[in-house]
């Protein structure tokens, strides 16, 4: 049931929040929202969607299904998304009836690498050298100007390193263009990376921004593997990263939770990409911050004051992919549960596929070295088949 916002436009517990997308990010949002007394309606075409199972209502339909969208519009007090691929037209249509946060404009920019890279460039944010590619000829000449090695990335629908092709030399152009099926792409110079970091932040309706501590991220085959917080970077760089992320959120006139991924290449800070939603590298906040990123998403979209983002403990987050479900058997959770400062999060996915994000765990300790040592030991134990 829709409840009118209070006199200050705050959407309060008892109201219904709409979530477009039912994956793990939608699930953790649903948990936070329901804990706070909100109802949640999830739209996701997958019957077994992780968020759908915990929602007040799961609308099992496509993102362009008109009757499902009508139901969301008529029953929800605010709507948000958990992934960037919801069509902008859907967000625009919903926005006629209820607040949609973040709005179609910010999602349109961040769901398409070409728009995103041009937005960053036009607003003076540094990125790796890139070129927009619409044809094989474009690609051939861009390899000459950008240089190899480079990475060809599809403009839309890429995630976890999917939709990318590594260009090692000019002769890889045909193969790359064919592999990515002639879709619009960007070609990016492959940068030497000192370290990768990210910042999750929230921007409220009034433009207030709260940033979380910078996370240091380690990827394995294009997929986030480990986040270490606080990141092992100096204070000056940390301030620069945080301030650049804040400026990006302001330039997008963003409302909600978002993340900015950065490269640090030969000491220089470069923006990699923007996610218009909570982020995998922010899962540490669930156990290590005063307010986690999902409660913060609820607060931001409901027009509430943003929560305190303070870090309460050094923390290491380890992603668990389907790869460690050997022969379909779940890993030995006891290895994690034996430790009082290790926190297990599973997403309720029944089918474990290679590369599929099944869950994560957070290791809290009084310093990063201890947290990393224990996290790595547990990671090894979990991945062993027996």
Return residues touching Mg ion (CB under 5 A): 261
Considering CB distances under 5 to 8 angstroms, the limit depending on partner class, which of Mg ion, ligand ATP, none binds residue 370? none
Tokens of 192: 């030497």
Q: What are phi and psi of 373, to 5 degrees?
A: -60, -50
**Residue of 199, 217, 305, 303 whose CA lies nearest to 255:** 303
DSSP state of 200: E
Q: Which does 57 bind (CB under 5 to 8 A by kind): ligand ATP, Mg ion, none?
A: none
Q: What angle do CA 191, 196, 199 make, to 5 degrees?
A: 130
CB of residue 161 to ligand ATP, shortest distance in Å: 5
Distance separating alpha carbons of residues 127 and 121, to the nearest angstrom: 7
CB count within 10 Å of CB 171 equals 10
Q: Of 195 and 330, which has the nearer Cβ to ligand ATP?
A: 195
- Taking the least distance from each CB to ligand ATP, the nearer of 58 and 117 is 117
CA torsion angle 137 143 146 152 (round to 10): 90
- Residue 112 or 261: the one with the smaller Cβ distance to ligand ATP is 261
Smallest separation (angstroms) from ligand ATP to the CB of 160? 4
Q: Cβ 360 to Mg ion, closest distance in Å? A: 16
Query: Given the complex with ligand ATP, which of 165 and 254 has the nearer CB atom?
Result: 165
In angstroms, what is the minimal distance from the CB of 153 to ligand ATP? 6
Nearest approach, Cβ of 283 to ligand ATP (angstroms)? 13
SS (H, E, C) 259-272: EEEEEEECCEEEEE
Residues in contact with ligand ATP by CB under 6 A are 128, 151, 153, 158-162, 188, 190-191, 193, 196, 219, 222, 261, 272-273
Token pair of 65 as six digits: 């299904």
- 223 touches 199 (CB < 8 A): no
- Find how far residue 290's CA is from the centre of its chain: 20
Nearer Cβ to Mg ion, position 55 or 229?
Answer: 229
């Amino acid at each position: 049931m829709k409840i009118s916002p209070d006199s200050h436009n705050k959407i309060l517990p008892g109201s219904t929040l709409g979530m477009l997308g039912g994956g793990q990010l939608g699930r953790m949002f649903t948990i936070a929202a329901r804990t706070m007394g909100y109802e949640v309606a999830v739209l996701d075409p997958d019957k077994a969607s992780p968020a759908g199972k915990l929602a007040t209502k799961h609308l099992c339909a496509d993102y362009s299904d008109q009757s499902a969208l009508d139901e969301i519009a008529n029953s929800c007090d605010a709507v948000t998304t958990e992934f960037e691929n919801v069509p902008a037209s859907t967000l625009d249509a919903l926005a006629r009836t209820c607040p949609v946060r973040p709005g179609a404009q910010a999602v349109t920019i961040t769901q398409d690498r070409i728009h995103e890279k041009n937005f960053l460039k036009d607003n003076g944010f540094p990125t790796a050298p890139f070129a927009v590619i619409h044809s094989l000829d474009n690609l051939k000449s861009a390899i000459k100007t950008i240089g190899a090695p480079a990475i060809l990335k599809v403009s839309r629908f890429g995630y976890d390193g999917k939709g990318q092709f590594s260009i090692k030399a000019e002769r890889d152009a045909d193969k790359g263009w064919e592999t990515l099926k002639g879709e619009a792409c960007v070609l990016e110079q492959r940068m030497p990376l000192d370290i990768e970091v990210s910042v999750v932040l929230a921007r409220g309706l009034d433009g207030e921004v709260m940033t979380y501590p910078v996370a240091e991220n380690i990827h394995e085959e294009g997929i986030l593997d480990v986040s270490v917080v606080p990141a092992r970077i100096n204070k000056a760089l940390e301030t620069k990263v945080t301030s650049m992320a804040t400026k990006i959120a302001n330039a997008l006139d963003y409302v909600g939770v978002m993340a900015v991924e950065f490269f640090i290449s030969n000491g220089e800070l470069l923006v990699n990409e923007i996610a218009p939603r909570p982020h995998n590298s922010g899962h540490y906040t669930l156990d290590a911050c005063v307010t986690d990123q999902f409660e913060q998403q609820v607060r931001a979209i409901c027009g509430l004051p943003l929560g305190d983002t303070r870090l309460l403990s050094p923390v290491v987050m380890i992603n668990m992919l389907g790869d460690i479900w050997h022969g379909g058997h779940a890993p030995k959770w006891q290895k994690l549960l034996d430790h009082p400062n290790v926190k297990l999060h599973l997403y309720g996915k029944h089918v474990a596929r290679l590369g599929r994000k099944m869950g994560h765990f957070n290791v809290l300790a009084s310093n990063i070295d201890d947290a990393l040592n224990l996290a790595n030991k547990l990671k090894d134990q979990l991945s062993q088949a027996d």
